[in-house]
Each structure stands twice: as structure tokens, then as C-alpha cells.
Amino acid sequence: MQFSVILLLSLAILCNSQTATTSKSVCIYDFAAVNYESDQVDILESEDCYHQVPDYKKVIVAHNRETLCYVNRKYLYLNKTNSRLNRCGEYMVMVGPSQRPIVCMVAGFMNLKVNNTLMTPELTERFFGVTSKTISQLTGGLEGSTNYFTQVTFSPSDIDQGVNPSLFVLSTDNNTAKVQVGNSNQIIEQVTVVTKGKEKIYGQNIDGTFSFKIEDGISELRLISFDYNKLIIKNPNLTMPTTIGLASRFKAVRPKNCKFVIDDKIWKEGEVSNSTFMRWQVWQVNRNGEGAMYDFTNEQMKLTSNEIIDGKGFLSVGFFYPTEMLISQDFKELVVEFEVENTDNYEFARTILVRNREYGKINIETMEYIDTNLTTKFYLTGDKKTIHLRAAFKNTDYSFTNLFAFSGFVPIGSYIILRSAYLTRSDANDNQYHCDHLSWDCDNMECRITNTSVVDGTNHWSEFCKPNCGTCRDGFVCTTGGRCISEINENIRSGQLATVCLFVCLLLISLF
């Protein structure tokens, strides 16, 4: 009997494995929101998506609600196989250190310059331009020296805005209509014009508009979304600039909100990084609070005691992140492995948790102590050199922090070598996939790759960070290489598998 139960469970898993999907959210974490209203930020160039629409700040609901975000020009376009799709009107759910989700619409592009020498061109391309109000909501109103920007986590969304889309007829010159769709919760990729029973498909212009010939007998306009959903306008009036309100809107899938996350890997010996922002920094902090940052482009992190207290060498290692966060809610513990000359001569002191308000500077004036004695355990290995340290964060602490440090005593002039340091995420932050900026572009693919895609070709994304690149039209399926190919009838094979599973289950039940 026990064997039959196990076999039944195994068959159930087998018969359902092909349709199993993950319930975790796909979240992109390596972007920053920047307050373009700040005097520390310069707008180099910008353009609003709907500037061709009369009174667009009134008729586009996201402008009315002030739920806008601007992207760098590089990220205004989604690169598909045969086209560049304009993101204008795309909605996102964004969250910062406050862990409060903010809905915003891509309202245009805005190339920004921040008055900070550590900002690399690569990073500035990943800036979202937002208002001071939005920054305050994302950060919880932090008042540090870098309160004009914060790292964010976001996910594209088709969240329902409570309004139906509108088709704006912008011009009708030379028998050509130029139109733009607004207030849609899905990006419109194509417009199909039906004239006297004949269909003609038009793709986007580079500015997100559509242009097509005005012919007698246009009976229908079909707005085809990025996910190949359709909205239909019957007998449209295209003789003059006007606004056509649609009678329906796309169905929205309730979004799974992302949690604000940062990299849980602080340092690993042998791995070199050229990044200067949105990464952990290693500092040596003196007892008076003065700190010096170590060069993390080196493969080894060796820190030497340079302060004498009671005849012993004092050495404190700090880990600093540029964005303040609810670190005790986001992570469970800090785990560090380091090497000393002799473990018998190492004396652990304490681990502290600090809020540091300055970027690129640590001293007694910039620091606010949150917890001066985190519960810490450390373990020695048999080689008499390696120490494993684990410091636990208090899940009852809701303070914004961005710096923690462990300290101890070593022989005067002695050193420690940092082997690795990382954080373990809280359970709340473990229910999502942490993806980077590569998951926000299709890289010339034309459809979304899933676990049911036909095996044909390869892609460079990790298993759970594949971007949504749209849906193939009827009669076509997506391959593992991100291409739409003619659908092969799998109904017979699928039916046979289901029949076999059912037959075996019934047979086992009758036997036992």
C-alpha cells in the first residue's frame, strides 16, 4: 500500500510537471531613482512621450496623478527582432528602501547628470527621473546628503488604472493619419487597419505613434498589444484631429509586488569589480569613527591594525552601502570569513549597526549609532588562521541603516585578510528572483521564453530572469531562442500522456 501511494504521487508530479510555473516575482534591482527637481541634478536633455497630444497633462491620467517616471534615452526602446518598440505609456511598480510600492508610467526620456564624481556613465544610464515627492515616498523621507537619489527595485506591470484607453488622432495630412494611444495598461505594438475586408498591419513609429493611409471604407482599427491582446474600434472617424475613447480596456494581471533588495554578496576574495556605486564598500574604521575605504578593484582585501589601545592593535572592518535601508527587515544576518596570523591572538570586541548620512565619507559627525552590540558568534577552524563570524540582525528593528562593522584586537602591526562577506536574506525577500538590467530588454528576441517553449536555439538569460518579450500571434509558438515558429500540433501526444497517467492510476487503485 505504501509503495502504491508513493508511485501515485510520483505519477501526479510527472503528469503535471509540464505546466508547473514559478510563483516568484521577477524583479530588477540595479536601477536608481533620481530627483530631477534637486539642485544637485542637471537635466541634459528630455522629451515627454505625449507632447504631440493637445493638453496631454490633463488627458493622460498618469500626469493628473503625478505618477510619472522618465528613463534614459537608451532604455526608452525595447529591442525586438525586427523593430524598436517605444516604452511610452508602460507602467511599472517600483519600490525603494521604504518598501512602499509606487506605480509610475514611463512618461518620456530624461538624461540626467548628478553632481557626484563616483557616478559612472553606465550607472547614469540606469537612472529613473522622478519628482521630489516620489523620492520621498521611495525612501521614507530620509534626510541624508544623498536624499536626491536612491536605488530601487522594479517590475514592469499591466496594472489596471481604472480608465479605458484613448486613440488620439494627431493629424490627417496628405490622406495619412498619425495616431497615438494613451492611458493603456499595455504597450500597443501594432495597429491593424481593416478596409473592405482587407487587413493591413502597421508598426510603431520611433516616437510611439502610428501612421497609415486614410482610405474609404475603413471599418475597423485593431490595437494589438505587446502581449498580442486586441482592442477594436469600429468605424473610426479619421477625417480630422480628434480623440476616440475606447469602450473597453485590456485585462490586467494583478502584479506581484517586488521587495526592495540589494546585492547580498559584499565581498569575495579573487573577484574584482570596477563598479563604484550600488555595491558594498569595505572600510577600515578607527575607534574615533574616522574611516578609510579600501580599493575593491583588488583581488585581496588585507587590513592592518594602525591603532593601539591598551597595548593591543585595534582593527575594525566596516561594510557600507550608499543607500539607507531597513536592513534588519531585509536581511537576517551578516556572515564573514577572515584570516588572521594566529587565532589564539585574536580577541573579538563587538559588531555595531550604524546609519551613515554621507556618501564617500565616514566619521563621527556623519554616523548615527543604531545598535552598538549585535548578537555575534564566531567559530575557529583547525588551521589556527580562519575565523567565521555571524552577526544576527534584530527583526524588531525598523531603523534605516547602511553600515555595520565588526571590531577586535590583534597583535600590534598585525593584519586580517578578508576572505568573504555576505548577507542572508529575510524570508520576505526570498520570494522573488533578483534580476539585473538585462531583463528589461529583449535583445532582438520576439517572444517570451517559458518552460513550455519549443527547444530551438539558446538565450543568454538566467533561468528565472527572462524578460517578457511579447506573445506570438495565433498559430505560432515561442522557441527557446526567442523566435516565433509555426505551431506543431502536440494535442495527440499530450492526450496520450494524460491517458497513460490516468490508466496507470486507475490500475493501481484497483490492485490496492
Q: What CATH number should be reported for the domain holding residue 64?
A: 2.40.40.10
Alpha carbons 466 and 460: distance in angstroms, whole number: 9
Residue 256 lies in a domain: no
pLDDT band at 274 (very low <50, low <70, confident <90, very high): low
> Are 449 and 467 in a shared domain?
yes
The torsion angle over the Cα atoms of residues 115, 118, 121 and 126, rounded to 10 degrees, is: -80
Q: Which domain holds residue 483?
A: 442-489
Q: Are residues 69 and 145 in the same domain?
A: yes
Instruction: State the pTM of this model.
Output: 0.82
> Residue 14 — very low, low, confident or very high, per pLDDT cuts 50/70/90?
very low
> Is residue 6 domain-resident?
no
In a domain, 8, yes or no: no
Cα(13)–Cα(20) distance, integer angstroms: 9
Q: Which residue has the higher pLDDT, 511 or 357?
A: 357
290 found inside a domain: yes
Percentage of the chain lying above the pLDDT 90 cut: 57
Could you give the percent of the chain with pLDDT greater than 70?
87
Phi, psi of 342 (to 5 degrees): -160, 120
Q: Are residues 340 and 464 in the same domain?
A: no
Between 53-67, 99-113, 459-473, the lowest mean confidence (pLDDT) is in 459-473
In a domain? residue 126: yes
Residues 40, 135 share a domain: yes
Is there a single domain that holds both residue 173 and residue 144? Answer: no
DSSP three-state, residue 15: helix
Q: pLDDT at residue 70 above 90? A: yes
In a domain, 258, yes or no: no
Domain boundary among 406, 429, 452: 429
Give 40's DSSP letter. Answer: T
Domain count, the chain: 4
| 503 domain residue, yes or no | no
Q: Is residue 197 part of a domain?
A: yes
173 and 312 inside one domain: no
Rounded mean pLDDT of the chain?
A: 86
Contact 204, 80 (CB under 8 A): no
